[in-house]
Homo-oligomer: A and B are copies of this chain.
Amino acid sequence: MPQPKYLTGDTAAIEEFLSRFDVFLFDCDGVLWSGDHLFPNVPETIEMLRKKGKQLVFVTNNSTKSRADYKKKFDKLGIPAEVEEVFGSSYSAAVYIARILKLPAPKNKVFVLGESGVEQELDAEGVLYIGGTDAAFRRDIEPEDFTNLANGSALDPDVGVVLTGLDFHLNYLKMATAFQYLQRGAVYLATNIDSTLPNAHSLFPGAGASGAGLTKAIGKEPLSLGKPSQAMMDAVEGKFQFDRSRACMIGDRLNTDIQFGIDGKLGGTLAVLTGVSKKEEFLAEDAPTKPMAYVNSLGDLLM
């Protein structure tokens, strides 16, 4: 595998790299921003790519936000973007459930372990759900819950899917309820399974961590609808209709973003060093995942 090309400071190389692609898929957290911290020159870089006529897609695994929520975040941070350019893992999961899985009614309701971003996208696709941010599930488990979950009286017989995303309000009651649905045969899906979430210049538990208890209990992994799952790439391509050989994935994580682009047979991948993965990880001779090129930060592309 060829070594990744370092583009920072090399204007000619950047020009040549950008000319190879018509479409850029961006990861958001760790690329455009970290939490509420915008990285330098990001709006200007995005604007520059638009002026060059590039199509931009913001592909994010953060399931806590809907596309509309993301649009607000872009606006707040001053990054020019449209709702339709955002493709989140919650949207990806909603599309999968509504258009691909298509379980026959009435047993097609979703039990959600996650935040409102998941709920909004399920609503947008007309998918019925329970759980999620419902206050009835945001409490401690009580002795009678064990009985009522075990005998099924606390369960909705129409639930046919369990969908997990990053849940800042995870608790034992929700995990136990979801586990009962899985034991009764519900389809097990995840918006994404990232182990960590970059925030405040540090790492916090990600969607893969908030769903890991359920995965451990049931003893099998969910089907993930986020990066690097190609179910997400297929959905992105289905929506935006582009030539994969003229598309480039830009991200900070080797095992999600960069692998997502490689597995999807995109024309290129670009790593930024403002997030999770360090350059030592992909410059090592035996690194399993190598981007085509890398920059210190996205703003280094600005010319």
A: which residues have CB within 8 A of B? 35, 140-141, 146-147, 149-151, 167-172, 175-176, 179-180, 183, 195-196, 199-206, 208-217, 219
Q: How far is the CA of A165 from the CA of B210 in the complex (A)?
A: 16
Contact at B199–A150, with CB atoms within 8 Å?
Answer: yes
Query: In the complex the two chains form, is B147's CB within 8 Å of A200's CB?
Result: yes
A283 smallest CB distance to B (angstroms): 20
What are the residues of chain B within 8 A of A141 when measuring CB–CB?
168
In the complex formed, the residue of B with least CB distance to A175 is B205
Residue of B nearest to A151 (CB): B200
* Contact indicator B216/A212 (Cβ below 8 Å): yes
User: How far is A206 from B175 in the complex, measured between Cα atoms in Å?
Assistant: 11
* A-B contact list, 5 entries, CB within 8 Å: A150-B201, A170-B175, A175-B209, A204-B217, A212-B216
Given the interface pairs A170-B170, A170-B171, the reply to whether A219 lies near B195 with Cβ below 8 Å is: yes
Provide the bound-state CA to CA distance between A206 and B212, in Å. Answer: 12
Residues of B within 8 A of A35 (CB): 146
A177 to chain B, nearest CB (A): 10
Chain B CB count within 10 A is highest, among A195, A215, A216, for A216
Instruction: Decide if B180 touches A202 in the complex (CB within 8 Å).
Output: yes
Residue of B nearest to A199 (CB): B146
Q: Assess the A196–B217 pair: CB atoms within 8 A.
A: yes
A141 and B168 alpha carbons, distance in the complex (Å): 7
Known: A170-B170, A171-B171, A195-B219. A150 touches B210 (CB 8 A): no
| Cβ–Cβ contact B183 & A149, under 8 A | no
Distance between Cα atoms of A249 and B171 in the complex (Å) = 34
